[in-house]
Amino acid sequence: MRTRPLSAVSTSRLRALLDEEARHWLATLRWDYSEVGAAVLSGLQRGSVFGRAMDDGGDALAYGYSIADGSRVVIGGLFTTARLRGQGLEEILLDGLVEDARRDPEAMRVEAQTLFCTGEAADARLVRAGFVSRPRHYVVRDLDAPLAVAPDARMRTVRRDDLPAVAELIWRSHEGSLDARLNSTYATAASTRGFVDTIVLRNGCGRFDPDASRVAETGSGRIAGVLLASRLSNENGHVCQVSVAPDAQGHGLGRAMLLWSMDTFRKAGLSQASLSVTVGNERARELYARLGFVPRRAFAAHAWARPPQRIEAGE
């Protein structure tokens, strides 16, 4: 078995592994990962994606990739073909990706989320490497089960001209949290706006679903809550982001938006709703549990900052 730069692996040698990966995550999470595989191949051709792969002289058998985003490197998925899983190949690749990122003098931060990783020891490996980490859950809800009626709330569809205010609300709702310290998506208003545009305008988390997405308004017309939804597959409707302004929390807006979204998914013929939540966010976890969501997969968010910068682990 040999390890090589991902850029040195031909598309034909990588294709079979990417196809297996897409089948794996569709079966495991009901998440159509084929578009991610296509984006990895496209990014390799453009030079925006880099990584490492393992082979035995034939097709790729394991791979991991990273994306450079300004001064941040984001470690993406790690995947090994089924017959070699459990032998630590992902951990070897992960060590290499971390080493590559830290060797880059322009990389001030390295971030990773391990939802799409077949290596069981990856989270522990990142903690050992000095990353600050927080456990998360991918949770799902069977839409065949009865849904409560959404409480009254002033809601409407998300318009393109809402996006600056939506991004501002999401940023403010995360301000000062450990989630924001681990994921620089939420670090500034500008980075959060980029995140919102990626979801809504570029289908960056599955295909954006405008019908299942909502903003909630106050009586004066101010946006007080937002839910951005997508389709991860023909079965799975996903809540990419749900946020309520700090001064509007505790009035049922989050519950109303979630119930609306799930009812829209169900009427469109989908059988499952999904979302991700940080384990320490007890208020959100309790709401999701009351609405029938159950954990499907545990993973973690990780971040490392180049000294003398540091990531504060406390709330």
Topology annotation, domain 2-130: Aminopeptidase (3.40.630)
**pLDDT tens-digit series, residues 182-224:** 999 999 999 999 999 999 999 999 999 999 999 999 888 899 9
Q: Which amino acid, one-letter code, is at 193?
A: R
Topology annotation, domain 142-297: Aminopeptidase (3.40.630)
**pLDDT tens-digit series, residues 3-51:** 999 999 999 999 999 999 999 999 999 999 999 999 999 999 999 999 9
Summary mean pLDDT of the chain: 95
Identify which of 72, 71, 70, 76 has the alpha carbon closest to the alpha carbon of residue 94: 76
- Strand ranges (DSSP E) for 206-293? 207-208, 214-217, 223-231, 236-244, 272-278
Q: Spell out the domain ranges in the chain.
A: 2-130, 142-297
Mean local confidence (pLDDT), 98-115:
96
Tokens of 218: 């106050």
pTM: 0.95
Residue 212: which residues within 8 A CB-CB, separation 6 or more?
Answer: 227, 229, 237, 260, 261, 264, 265, 268
What's the CA angle centered on 303, arms 114 and 140, to 5 degrees?
A: 35
Residue 315: pLDDT over 60: no
